[in-house]
Amino acid sequence: MNLARFSERIEGLKYLVDKMELTGSRVRRYLMRMPFSSDRDLLEGHFDILQKACEILSDQKVKPVLMQLEHLFSKIHDIQGTLTALKEKRILDEVELFEIKHFSIICADAAALCLQAGFVHENLYPLQEAFNMLDPDHTGTVSFYIYDSYSKSLAEARKQVASIDPGRDAGTWDRLQDIIQKEELAVREKLSLKLAVMYRALQENFDRIAWIEIWFAKARLALMYNMVRPETVPYDRPGVLSVVEMVNPAIADTLENAGEKFQPVSVTLNSEPCLLTGANMSGKTVVLKTLALIQALTQFSFFVPAQKASIPLVKDVFLVIGDKQDQYRGLSSFAAEMLDLDRIMANMAVGTKMLILADEPARTTNPAEGAAILCAFVEYLEKNGVMSLISTHYGDLGLSCRKLRVAGFQGSNVKGRLDPLRINRYMNYSLIEDKGGSVPLEALNIARLLGVDESFIDTAKKYLK
């Protein structure tokens, strides 16, 4: 599965892709086709490249070189159609021949700038031979013309036609024009056949120059959000997922715009299910979304928004948010969620190594059946040894699995009415080990501090069990 598909499933991925400084749809296509990888050697190699790009961007001495490189990226045309024509051994027209000549110059300049910057990855093939072929008069210019020097017959016909008045000698003029067209076609055919031999070098350069831009865009993103290189645990080994002080960039940016700060959260998971409890507004969903984002970023060769991260590689990441309806198939949120869970269990049954993150599964059905579904799902995860974090409102489930709890509301000593817009300041989103079986009761206290009618709150308390 590629980044385009994952960005539809994992909230926050598209936000970060949109933050990347890419010159256009051509480069974005390369990025979005990037595969989700569980190959540790490949990922570590990519992280080496990204780390080098970060080091170069942080070096003020090479800033002028990088500015030239960025300008060069903006001048690259999308010549994939021309390259396809070469591969199929079609005769290129003058515009396509110009594109090859222009691209050859771009590659030479890019290679020189990368060398100056100390970026020795995605090395480009020299295309001087292609440039010379398209510049027989050694003008050194980027423009292309079917020069007289390509053909004596062409040069002679052009010379003759220039001396003829088509109004007085139309027959001769037309005959010479036919010769010129045939000679120009013969020149384009000869050039196209010679360039077709260089197709592989041209195509690989076109691919690599896009990746040079992507690596630097990824590096800028990493520096923008203080991202770190994750440690990876090979796919075929058991491991502990550990993320210290993780941040969700999209949410952090929204909070910053409102004058608030995102509280970083740390979490550790091993190869068994873990329940996550906490009152409403305690950030359980944010924890799940951020963890899914960090796992996906790691396996798409990005650095991650955290202080430190150790990530066991998996084949897939499932983020199940139960309040989303499947509008396209006319399914209720419960039906869509059950199908998601069934898909997860089918993958477990064939031994697929996954990270499962589920937000209050079965919360949209009646509590008795919802709790039963949750317990069955956790039992299934435990039996198959699947790394997972499941948030829930259900308490006293009698499950023996590990439990975490969001520390939650810390405003018990608040006096007077609580400003609804500042309630986040009293929330502690840290995760703590939970040895008990009940979910913390904070909703009514928060409602009271928000100024909700006291008699209503007293009535609600009578129904607490």
Query: Range with the lowest mean pLDDT among 125-129, 263-267, 287-291, 345-349?
Result: 345-349
Distance in angstroms (rounded) separating the CA atoms of residues 281 and 295: 24
- pLDDT in the model for residue 451: 73
Phi, psi dihedral angles at 402 (to 5 degrees): -65, 145
Q: Do residues 311 and 36 lie in contact, with contact meaning Cβ atoms separated by under 8 Å?
A: no
Tell me, what amino acid is at 300?
F
Predicted confidence (pLDDT) at residue 229 exceeds the cutoff of 60: yes
pTM above the 0.95 mark? no
Distance in angstroms (rounded) separating the CA atoms of residues 164 and 367: 95
Distance in angstroms (rounded) separating the CA atoms of residues 310 and 291: 12
Predicted confidence (pLDDT) at residue 366 exceeds the cutoff of 90: no
- pLDDT in the model for residue 323: 57
Predicted confidence (pLDDT) at residue 450 exceeds the cutoff of 70: yes
Give the 3-state secondary structure of residue 361.
Answer: coil
Phi, psi dihedral angles at 232 (to 5 degrees): -120, 145
Q: What percent of the chain has pLDDT over 90?
A: 62
Residue 354: beta bridge partners?
316
- Interval 129-182: pLDDT, tens: 999 999 999 999 999 999 999 999 999 989 988 888 888 888 888 899 999 999
In 218-369, DSSP assigns E strands to: 231-233, 241-246, 265-269, 273-277, 308-312, 316-321, 354-359
CA Rg, the chain, in Å?
A: 31
Q: Are strands 402-409 and 273-277 parallel, antiparallel or unpaired?
A: parallel
Predicted confidence (pLDDT) at residue 426 exceeds the cutoff of 80: no
Stretch 312-328: mean pLDDT: 76
Predicted confidence (pLDDT) at residue 47 exceeds the cutoff of 70: yes
Domains and CATH numbers, the chain: 3-216 (1.10.1420), 230-462 (3.40.50.300)
Q: Do residues 315 and 295 lie in contact, with contact meaning Cβ atoms separated by under 8 Å?
A: no
- pLDDT in the model for residue 322: 63
> Quick one: 331 exposed, middle or buried, by C-beta within 10 A (0-12, 13-18, 19+)?
middle
- 132's CB contacts (< 8 A; 6+ apart) are 138
> Quick one: 248 exposed, middle or buried, by C-beta within 10 A (0-12, 13-18, 19+)?
buried
Stretch 63-72: mean pLDDT: 96
Q: What is the mean pLDDT of the chain?
A: 89
Stretch 48-59: mean pLDDT: 97
Q: Kindly indicate the confidence band of residue 325, based on its pLDDT and cuts at 50, 70 and 90.
A: very low
Stretch 289-306: mean pLDDT: 98
Stretch 363-386: mean pLDDT: 86
Tell me, what amino acid is at 62?
V
- 220's CB contacts (< 8 A; 6+ apart) are 20, 21, 57
Q: Kindly indicate the confidence band of residue 125, based on its pLDDT and cuts at 50, 70 and 90.
A: very high
Predicted confidence (pLDDT) at residue 344 exceeds the cutoff of 50: yes
Q: How many other C-beta atoms lie within 10 A of the C-beta of residue 317?
A: 22
Sign of the dihedral through C-alpha 456, 457, 462, 465: positive
Predicted confidence (pLDDT) at residue 328 exceeds the cutoff of 50: no
- pLDDT in the model for residue 423: 64
Tell me, what amino acid is at 284?
K
Q: CA dihedral in degrees (321, 327, 333, 338; nearest 10)? A: -80
Give the 3-state secondary structure of residue 122.
Answer: coil
